[in-house]
Structure 1
Amino acid sequence: MSENVLMHLDKVSKVYTMGEVKVEALKHTTLEVYQGEFLVILGPSGSGKSTLLNILGGMDQASSGEVYYKNRNLTQASEASLTRFRREEVGFVFQFYNLIPDLTAKENVEIAADLVDNPLLVNECLKDVELYDRMNHFPSQMSGGEQQRISIARALVKNPRLLLCDEPTGALDYSTGKTVLSLLKKINVEKGCTVIVITHNTAIGAMGDRVVRMRDGEIFEITINESPLSPERIEW
């Protein structure tokens, strides 16, 4: 495997069984993810992009095919090993923030820091997302955009190599969404973190180094952006 390949999926499929019905959510998918890239995965609801993200993040296991993280085969990993992978290597950002309501912003970030051996400084991560002055506020006292930025700080504090973002702007208005995308791009550039954003918003594809397009559980196109747009220049 090339040194700049962080993850490699080889002919990966995922089948869910619901009673007597089998649903093939992902079909024979092959994909390389490069270290330090900003990758956008586009597709409508039901296209398989969330299933792909879950497999990349070790939250779900493939029904067939191979998944490699660097030179490590995750397909054969135990549940304990996958848990360590998620804790130590991956940061997650979700559409609906998933903050703990009874904890302050700082405490929400501290919980993630406690999961790893070498976390970043909590206060520095709060400064990175420009919410240092709001660290003692509870989620209910914050706007949706602020809550999403705290969830990014929570992911960032683990110092992950891979940041997986599932519709990170889906619950936000246009202006706030662009602020969040700018923050994700800043983390990608300044921290050298590989960022993967899955979205149905085709405009966001313009900021990716590469764009993966999916439908019906398959990748049907991968394009390279020679000149990715800054989030400020994206319109939707």
Structure 2
Amino acid sequence: MKNNVLMQLEKISKTYIMGEVTVEALKETSLDIFQGELLVILGPSGSGKSTMLNIMGGMDTTSSGRVIFGDEDLSRAGDSQLTRYRRNEVGFVFQFYNLIADLTARENVELAANLVENPLSTEEVLMEVGLESRMDHFPSQLSGGEQQRVSIARAAVKNPRLLLCDEPTGALDYQTGKLILGLLAKINRERGSTVVIVTHNTSIGEMANRVVRMRSGEITEIIENETTVSPERIEW
């Protein structure tokens, strides 16, 4: 795994200026992300973990430092290049699903499938996440767990090299949260997508190949798990 670096973050910093207040969300942070790994980024609120995820996904830019994906320098990319990168290389899973309310589950996933040249089958992906009987339901007709499964299907249908998940279990109950983690692990294992999960839940780190701990905009520790725990066995 370590011979194949998918993304490099090289001394990236992010500073927000809000009126007279300057916030250093990231401070010269460096990290290599490997192809095919499952990486969990842990930290309390305000640690910089979501800022880092947004920079990885091309949704935010750095104040300084470099972001390298494959042979692309994203820190020098313009808007059109970043749009192509987000469209073709990245799948996003958010805490609150971000589904389009007036589209069915099938239509939400098809919308993402239409963005790329070689998508997976919408119906097959929805079946893989256990929604074969709910494809034509609208988000308002689905439970929170079902909506998050649509969100995962929407991200997975593009067959992205990088799947970024921001607190994917944060709005879910314990059992549903473990189900969602199991789906993310399955995509990592069977599709080969690199999966990055940002969370404040330390127990989720047990399923990861590596755990990155953050505090106050800096990485404080990187732990490599010799063995990983299946999501079904994680407790919190």
**Short-chain TM bin:** over 0.9
Structure 2 residue aligned with 1:132: 132
Structure 2 residue aligned with 1:196: 196
Structure 1 residue aligned with 2:181: 181
With the length of structure 2 as denominator, give the TM-score of the two structures.
0.98
Task: Indicate whether 1:103 and 2:84 are aligned.
Answer: no
Q: How many residues align?
A: 235
SS class of match (1:100): coil
Structure 2 residue aligned with 1:167: 167
- Pairing 1:23-34 to 2, within 5 Å after superposition: 23-34=23-34
Identify the range of structure 1 (18-27 vs 198-207) with the bigger mean alpha-carbon deviation: 18-27
With the length of structure 1 as denominator, give the TM-score of the two structures.
0.98
Q: Give, as a single letter, the amino acid of the residue that structure 1 aligns with 2:49.
A: K
Deviations 1:17-76 (A, max 9, x none): 111221110001000000000000000000000000000000011100011001211011
Identify the range of structure 1 (33-42 vs 110-119) with the bigger mean alpha-carbon deviation: 110-119
- Pairing 1:24-173 to 2, within 5 Å after superposition: 24-173=24-173
SS class of match (2:133): helix
Q: Give, as a single letter, the amino acid of the residue that structure 1 aligns with 2:69.
A: Y
Identify the range of structure 1 (124-133 vs 51-60) with the bigger mean alpha-carbon deviation: 124-133
**Cα distance in structure 1, aligned partners of 2:134 and 2:10:** 44
Q: Give, as a single letter, the amino acid of the residue that structure 2 aligns with 1:180.
A: I
1:106 is displaced (CA, Å) by: 0.2
1:3 is displaced (CA, Å) by: 5.2
**Cα distance in structure 1, aligned partners of 2:4 and 2:168:** 26
**Cα distance in structure 1, aligned partners of 2:128 and 2:91:** 16
Q: Please identify runs of 4+ aligned residues in structure 1 that moved more than 3 A.
A: none
**Cα distance in structure 2, aligned partners of 1:119 and 1:198:** 25
Structure 1 residue aligned with 2:16: 16
Structure 1 residue runs without a partner (length 5+): none
